[in-house]
Amino acid sequence: MTEDHSRPDWDEYFMDIASLVARRSTCTRRRVGALLVRERRILSTGYNGAPTGLRHCLEVGCLRDQLNIPSGERHELCRGLHAEQNAIIQAALHGVGTAGATLYCTNHPCGICAKMIINAGIVSIVILDGYSDKLADEIFAEAGIQVKTL
């Protein structure tokens, strides 16, 4: 029996880690993982879920489901933070700069996250899949942030 010794490229490697991080998600609608990387070093990770110390949607149910809010709309009506937000917040909490970083995310960022990504100095994004947010796409293009889909 021969072993497969193929190695993933860097984008695949970091996306595999982001996918693993997504497994920690406490969202009942969509599990998302994110990773901030600079110079092939992981700066921080994040997954979607309620803020530290608050009960998760897995425990109390989904507010968005209760209010019949469609996916991709009214992001502010949610108990949880997005994975991208948590990755940026974790970096800030631990004093890790994000300027020049690449964001690896299992889903396309929303418009709110796009604005945070720009102000955090993140220069490129690699996504696995997910809905495309038209506003986010326009903002990324205007800011010159490269978005690559694996």
> What residues act catalytically?
84
Question: Which residues fall within 8 angstroms of residue 33, CB to CB, at 6 or more apart?
Answer: 17, 18, 19, 20, 21, 22, 23, 24, 25, 45, 46, 47, 83, 105, 106
Q: The tokens 């897995």 sit on which residue?
A: 58
Other beta carbons within 10 angstroms of residue 38's beta carbon come to 17
Task: Tell me the C-alpha to C-alpha distance, in Å, between residue 53 and each of 11, 39, 65, 79.
Answer: 33, 33, 22, 12
Instruction: Read off the amino acid at residue 142.
Output: E
Other Cβ atoms less than 10 A from the Cβ of 73: the count is: 9
Q: How far apart are CA 79 and CA 126, in angstroms?
A: 26
